[in-house]
Amino acid sequence: MAQRRDAGLVSWLYDRRMTTLPPYAALLRLRIEDAGGRRLLAMPFHDDVVGRPGFLHGGAIAGLLELAAFDALRCALSEGGPGEAETRIKPVGVTVDYLRGGAASETYAHARIKRLGKRIANIEAAAWQEDENRPIATARMNMLLARG
């Protein structure tokens, strides 16, 4: 079973078209959505993401934000030319700000790259439910890039 799970992660990491998500995303039931040319990750409210009754668990929100950041970075690297899609990514700094409780409804996340250097990428992500202008959490992430 571990081999199969690892194989899924490896295939996601090297999926040049970024059409799939890693195995952890399956637990969160994430899906990729297109919102007017922008890629969003969507997470439905379900039993596996419940914290206190009727609210999202903070770990599920942080996982959604981190996967949105990885997705944005993978997409940017896949556009960078030969070999860029194989770049290994390691989070070296993650800060999540929880702004309000996540209610029992679908949650969306989008990330944008603030800086993409040779060795470090700086990414910001936001998660919201009803209104994108009222995020439930934001994150800032620094990723170490090991280019092939």
Return the top range by mean pLDDT from 4-8, 13-17, 27-31, 133-137. 133-137
Which pLDDT does position 93 carry in this prediction?
A: 95
One-letter amino acid for residue 124 of the chain: E
Which pLDDT does position 50 carry in this prediction?
A: 86
pLDDT over threshold 50, residue 3: no
SS3 letters for 65-99? HHHHHHHHHHHHHHCCCCCHHHCEEEEEEEEEEEC
pLDDT over threshold 70, residue 139: yes
pLDDT over threshold 70, residue 7: no
Helical ranges in 2-51 per DSSP H: 2-13, 23-28
Which pLDDT does position 81 carry in this prediction?
A: 67
Hey, what domains does the chain have and what are their CATH numbers? 2-146 (3.10.129.10)
Which pLDDT does position 82 carry in this prediction?
A: 66
pLDDT over threshold 60, residue 15: no
The DSSP symbol for 102 reads -
pLDDT over threshold 90, residue 111: yes
**26-80 pLDDT per residue, tens:** 889 998 888 888 889 999 999 888 888 889 998 999 999 999 999 999 888 888 7
**Secondary structure (3-state) at 39:** strand
Which pLDDT does position 56 carry in this prediction?
A: 92
Q: Where residue 23 falls among pLDDT bands split at 50, 70, 90?
A: confident
Which pLDDT does position 35 carry in this prediction?
A: 84
Return the top range by mean pLDDT from 23-27, 50-54, 91-95. 91-95
